[in-house]
Amino acid sequence: MSTDRRADGLHTHLPPAGPGRVDDVDPTARPGVPMEHLPEPFPTAPERVVVQRPRVEVLQIPGRKKPVWVVSNAQPPRGLSGRLRRRAFRIPEHHPQHWMLLLAADRLEVRLTRAKRWLGFAAGALALWAVLRAIEDR
């Protein structure tokens, strides 16, 4: 099969698609066969791992034996939606209630964020109106 490459690194002669393109016919040539191989650490995996200490509240699924090694500090649970999320994380994930509560928290958070934004706009508009009135009254 052609492997010509132009000087700029772009391929020039791509082989046609379709039947006859049979490079990985032999299952042993396929890199994920079998999907689960005999245990061996990934060659460049770290030998020792420090467990990351979160800077914010990280919700963990109940029943976890040990903490995970890395976490995200982004968007910790907050406010009313945060309370719903904390509740959800007291229920194991094989119970649908866990997921229903999380979805409810998502929708609530979106509505509250929107309401806060509108309240901010409204307060701004009101302040502007008051200032204009004050100027007019002078």
Q: Does 5 bind another protein (CB under 8 A)?
A: yes
Q: Residue 24: CA atoms inside 13 Å, Cβ hemisphere, count? A: 5
Q: Is 52:70 a contact under the CB 8 Å cutoff?
A: yes
Helix (H) / strand (E) containing 103: helix 96-137
CB 137 to another protein: min, Å: 38
Q: Does 137 bind another protein (CB under 8 A)?
A: no
Positions in 32-51 near another protein (CB under 8 A): 32-33, 35-42, 44-46, 49-50
Within 10 angstroms of residue 97's Cβ, the number of other Cβ atoms is 13
What x/- string results for residues 98 through 117 when contact with another protein is judged by CB under 8 A?
xx--xx-xxx-xx--xx---
Query: 55 vs 138, which CB is nearer to another protein?
Result: 55
In whole angstroms, how far apart are CA 123 and each of 63, 131, 136? 46, 12, 20
Q: Does 73 bind another protein (CB under 8 A)?
A: yes
Q: Does 118 bind another protein (CB under 8 A)?
A: no
